[in-house]
Amino acid sequence: MLMAKLAVPLLSLFFFLSFISSQAALPLQTPIQKDHSTSQYVITAYLQTPLKLTKLLLDLGATFTWVNCDDYTSLTYQHVPCNSSIANLLGAYTCLDLCDGPPSPNCGNNSFLFLPDNPIKPVDYRKVDGLNTALIDSFALPNTQGSLTLINNFIFSCARTGFLKGLAKGVTGLAALGDSNISIPIQINKVFSSSPNCFAICLSGSKSQPGVALFGSNGPYNFLPGIDLSKALLYTPLILNPFGKDSEPDKPTPSSEYYIGLTSMKVNGKMVALNRSLLAINGKTGSGGTKISTVVPYTKLQSSIYKAFILAFLKEAVSSAFNLTTTKPVKPFSVCYPASAVKNTQMGPAVPIIDLVLDRPDVVWKIFGSNSMVRITKKTVDLWCLGFMDAGVNPMVSNWIGGPSIVIGGYQLEDNMLKFDLQSKKLGFSSSILSVGTNCAKFKFSTK
C-alpha cells in the first residue's frame, strides 16, 4: 500500500524533471534529406499532440510554416483569434468571422487566416477549395540527447491539400526558415532566448544519407572524422531587401529572403565582366542583388550575367590547364563535357574554380567542380554539365517587385556549411567541406 502511494508523487516528480531537462536542451538538430526526383530538400519536424513525424519542404526564404490540415488531428491545437495580440504580431490579415462546419483545425469562428503559397508550383487560389486558418500547436525537434524538445505555442498556417502540388512524396507542408518574426528559428529563440539566435544548415546530395539543420548553437558543429565546422567559417553581412514578394506598389513589406553582397565573380582567378549595377538591390524596385535559396535547384543568373559567366567558363575550361571541349548538352543544361575528358579530384571534377567575391576581396565563396558540375548518365551519354541557369533578362518576384540578379541554388549549397546569425545579421559559410575531408552526410547525430 505504501509503495503504491509513493509511486505517484515519484512518477510525477520524474516527469517534471524530464520535462525541465528537455526544455533546457538546445541545440536542436534534425535531418535534411534530398528528394532526388524533385531536387527538394526535406526537413523532419514533429507536430500535433501526440507528436507526429512531419516532413516539410525546407524553404530558407519563407515567412511562415504551413502544414496540410485536411488530415490533422491534435489534442492541443488552437485557432488565433482575430484582433488578438498574436494576430497583430502576424501583421495584415483577413478574418474568418463565422465558420459553419463543425469545429476543426480548418474551421473556427473568429479565426485569423493566412495566405500560404507554394514556392515550387504557384497556387491558383481560385481553384483551391477552402480557407487557410492560422493554428497554434505543439512543435518539436530532436535535441543533442536524441529526445524531442517541445515548442508549445508554435504558430503556423493550415494549408489545403491543393497547396501540396509539386512537393516531394510524403511532404505535407513547408518549413519556414526565413527572416521573419515567426520563422522556425525565431520561434525557437523566443522560447530559449538565452541560446544563440542562429541556425545552420548543411545540405547533402546523398540519396540515402541526410544532411542537417542545427538551431541555437554557435558550435561545435561536429562532423566525422572529428571536424568542427564552426571553426571553418568566413562571415559576410546578411542584407535586407525592403521589397518582399507581398509588397504592394505603394506599401513595401520587407523580404524574408536572405541576401548577401556579392561584388564580383571570378572564373579560374579571372574577373567576369559583369554589369555591377545588377549586383546591388535597387532601392526603388527591390530588383537585383544575390539571394540564397533552397527551393531553386541550380543557381540562376540574370541573362547578361549568365552570358558573361558562361563565356568566361568556356574560355578557361578550354585552356591548356583543363583542355576541355564541350559536347552536345543535355537539358536543362547548356554547357556539358564528356565525363571521360574530365579528371576527378577530391573536390569533384577538375574544372575552373568559380569565386564569389563578397563584401571584401578576401571574403570569397569558392565553388569547386563538386558544386558547379552535375553528372548526367543516360543510356548513351556520360557527361559533366555546368549547373547554372539563365534567369532571364528581367527576373521578377511578383507583378511589381523585381527579382534578384543571382539566386544561389541548392546544388551549389550542398556540402557547404552555412550559419545564419540572426543576432548580428551575418552569414557564416565554409565553401566546400570536401576540402577538409568531410561532407554534410557525416554530421554526428546522437545515436539514441
CB 30 within 8 A of CB 213: yes
| Cβ within 8 Å of residue 127, ≥6 positions away | 162
> Using the rule CB under 6 A, is 422 a contact of ligand NAG?
no
Name the residue number minimizing CB distance to ligand NAG: 91
Considering the complex, what minimum distance in angstroms separates the CB of residue 112 from ligand NAG?
10
> Using the rule CB under 6 A, is 321 a contact of ligand NAG?
no
Cα distance between residue 192 and residue 245, in whole Å: 30
What dihedral angle (degrees, nearest 10) is formed by the CA atoms of 9, 10, 14, 19? 10
Q: Which of 242, 236, 286 is nearest to 405 (CA)?
A: 286
Cβ proximity to ligand NAG: between 277 and 447 the closer is 277
- Residue 52 to residues 72, 122, 419, Cα–Cα distance (Å): 10, 27, 28
Site for ligand NAG in 43-82 (CB under 6 A): 82
CB 36 within 8 A of CB 206: no
> Which range touches ligand NAG (CB under 6 A), out of 104-112, 158-166, 360-368, 379-387?
104-112
Cβ proximity to ligand NAG: between 222 and 282 the closer is 282
> Using the rule CB under 6 A, is 107 a contact of ligand NAG?
yes
Considering the complex, what minimum distance in angstroms separates the CB of residue 244 from ligand NAG?
8
> Using the rule CB under 6 A, is 191 a contact of ligand NAG?
no
> Using the rule CB under 6 A, is 98 a contact of ligand NAG?
yes
Considering the complex, what minimum distance in angstroms separates the CB of residue 76 from ligand NAG?
17
Helix (H) or strand (E) holding 150: strand 148-159
For residue 150 the three cell numbers come to 517541445
Neighbours of 206 (CB within 10 A): 17
Cβ proximity to ligand NAG: between 104 and 435 the closer is 104
- Please tell me whether residue 23 adopts helix, strand or coil conformation: helix
Instruction: Out of 38, 39, 78, 110, name the contact with ligand NAG by CB under 6 A.
Output: 110
Instruction: Out of 51, 99, 308, 436, name the contact with ligand NAG by CB under 6 A.
Output: 99
> Using the rule CB under 6 A, is 91 a contact of ligand NAG?
yes
Considering the complex, what minimum distance in angstroms separates the CB of residue 384 from ligand NAG?
14
- Residue 109 to residues 105, 264, 287, Cα–Cα distance (Å): 11, 53, 40
Instruction: Out of 278, 292, 296, 418, name the contact with ligand NAG by CB under 6 A.
Output: 278
Q: Rg of the chain over CA atoms, in angstroms?
A: 23
Considering the complex, what minimum distance in angstroms separates the CB of residue 181 from ligand NAG?
4
Q: Is 8 exposed, middle or buried (0-12, 13-18, 19+ CB in 10 A)?
A: exposed
Considering the complex, what minimum distance in angstroms separates the CB of residue 241 from ligand NAG?
13
Helix (H) or strand (E) holding 85: helix 85-89
Considering the complex, what minimum distance in angstroms separates the CB of residue 120 from ligand NAG?
23
Site track for ligand NAG across 129-168, x = CB under 6 A: ----------------------------------------
User: How many residues belong to the site for ligand NAG (CB under 6 A)?
Assistant: 19
> Which range touches ligand NAG (CB under 6 A), out of 148-156, 204-212, 272-280, 352-360?
272-280
Cα distance between residue 208 and residue 173, in whole Å: 21
What dihedral angle (degrees, nearest 10) is formed by the CA atoms of 113, 119, 120, 126? 40
Cβ proximity to ligand NAG: between 193 and 277 the closer is 277
Instruction: Out of 73, 275, 345, 423, name the contact with ligand NAG by CB under 6 A.
Output: 275
Helix (H) or strand (E) holding 407: strand 406-408
Considering the complex, what minimum distance in angstroms separates the CB of residue 263 from ligand NAG?
15
Instruction: Name the site residues for ligand NAG (rule: CB under 6 A).
Output: 82-83, 89, 91, 98-99, 103, 107-110, 181, 253, 275, 277-278, 320, 323, 341
